Amino acid sequence: MSRRRGIMSEHFKEELAKELGFYDKVKEKGWGEITANEAGSMVKRAVQIAEESLTGDRT
């Protein structure tokens, strides 16, 4: 069975974690230690960034 590739690059996830304030936790303990709320915040922000890039509305 092949391993599924992630949609977000590692770099992008790290940048989101930094922006959202929990990168230190990821760096120390790994992605498996983030909470469901933190993961949800990452997805929400990634969608927001994607929508902004489609509309050209960079803020």
Residue 4 is assigned to a structural domain of this protein: no
CA–CA gap between residue 42 and residue 6 (Å, rounded): 14
Q: What is the pLDDT of residue 6?
A: 73
Residue 3 is assigned to a structural domain of this protein: no
Query: For the chain, how many structural domains are there in total?
Result: 1
* 35-43: long-range contacts, CB 8 A cutoff, minimum separation 24: 42/8, 42/13, 42/16, 42/17
3 state DSSP class of 3 = coil
Range of the domain at 37: 10-55
Residue 33 is assigned to a structural domain of this protein: yes
Can you list the alpha helix ranges (DSSP code H) found in 1-59?
10-20, 23-29, 36-55
Residue 32 is assigned to a structural domain of this protein: yes
1-58 pLDDT per residue, tens: 456 667 889 999 999 999 999 999 999 999 999 999 999 999 999 999 999 999 886 5
